[in-house]
Amino acid sequence: MRIGIDLGGTKTEVIALADNGAQLYRHRLPTPRNDYGQTIETIARLVALAEAETGQRGSVGIGIPGTLSPVSGRVKNANSTWLNGQPFDRDLAQRLGREVRIANDANCLAVSEATDGAGAGAATVFAVIIGTGCGAGIALNGQALNGANGNAGEWGHNPLPWMDDEELLFRQQVPCYCGRQGCIETFISGTGFATDYQRLSGTARTGAEIITLASRGDALAEQALARYEVRLAKSLAHVVNMLDPDVIVLGGGMSNVDRLYQTVPALIASWVFGGECATPVRKAQHGDSSGVRGAAWLWPL
């Protein structure tokens, strides 16, 4: 049995998978924000619940919103900032009494979708999380690509390419939590989408509310969504020019906006070198289960 943990900013989830990928157990608990010790205890409790429910002991894989530094062996780049600088894998291994495997949460999404999801059978899968934040992961032949510095797929903290005048202004006014300006995350995360609408309208709304307004013909909501589609397309074209993946998979809250799958692929081609792009853009087949399933699949057969 494989146990996967998805450590998010607001919730921590466990899944237990049989060897054939069938779900045996799934449960969520609130993430104890800004408390490293209680984060470890929450994960230990979820593992214990999964094993008690199934009557089996499992391997443990964990997806985190950051990465383990190959240099220091400690967490870096986590927007759950209380993890940064901590020897998370060692502390968890000691608490659980077994080896654990840790990967970036977007890499877990990529592994899940490459294993038995929207990218099954593809050699190179680029998987994007567009939710509260924005990240990406790469799976090569079903395995996560971490990179020499642990940074493979950190696409959201590159500058938005080919900025127009409005985007240059946005860049100046909306800094990224990482300390830089103009990061892709500030534009195409769900948070960035809501921020752009608020700048247009003067009214704060959730992403879901804005999408509903756009579907009803609201001009400002439609403008915000159209700008979002172009920005997402430019950001993905940048990936095609560098990596040229076999498939792009979208996860996170914004991936549920169905019209993206009609509008964005055609827009990508406008920015790809050579002016053509046949790369499919697909919704994550396992939805919000994909990250936690991918964490479990960090232990392959």
pLDDT tens, residue by residue, 220-271: 999 999 999 999 999 999 999 999 999 999 998 899 999 999 999 999 999 9
pLDDT tier for residue 9 given thresholds of 50, 70 and 90: confident
| Segments of the chain assigned to CATH 3.30.420.40 | 2-105+289-298, 118-284
SS3 44: helix
Phi, psi (rounded to 5 degrees) for 20: -90, 5
Please answer whether residues 183 and 175 qualify as being in contact, where contact means their C-beta atoms are separated by less than 8 angstroms.
Answer: no
Per the document, the length of the chain is 301
Q: Is the pLDDT at 301 greater than 80, yes or no?
A: no
Quote the pLDDT of residue 131.
87
Query: pLDDT at position 227, please?
Result: 98
pLDDT band at 275 (very low <50, low <70, confident <90, very high): very high
Residue 288: pLDDT band (50, 70, 90) is: confident
State which fold the 2-105+289-298 domain adopts. Nucleotidyltransferase; domain 5 (3.30.420)
Query: What pTM did the predictor assign?
Result: 0.87
Tens digit of pLDDT for each residue in 72-90? Answer: 999 998 878 899 999 999 9
For residues 250 and 287, the answer to whether their CB atoms sit within 8 Å is: no
Q: Please, what CATH class does the domain formed by 118-284 belong to?
A: alpha beta
Dihedral (Cα; 36, 154, 60, 53), 10-degree rounding = 80
- Which pLDDT tens digit goes with each residue over 35-81? 999 999 999 999 999 999 999 999 999 999 889 998 999 999 887 88
User: Is residue 183 very low, low, confident or very high in pLDDT (cuts 50, 70, 90)?
Assistant: very high
| Statement: residue 181 has pLDDT above 90 | yes
pLDDT of res. 27: 96
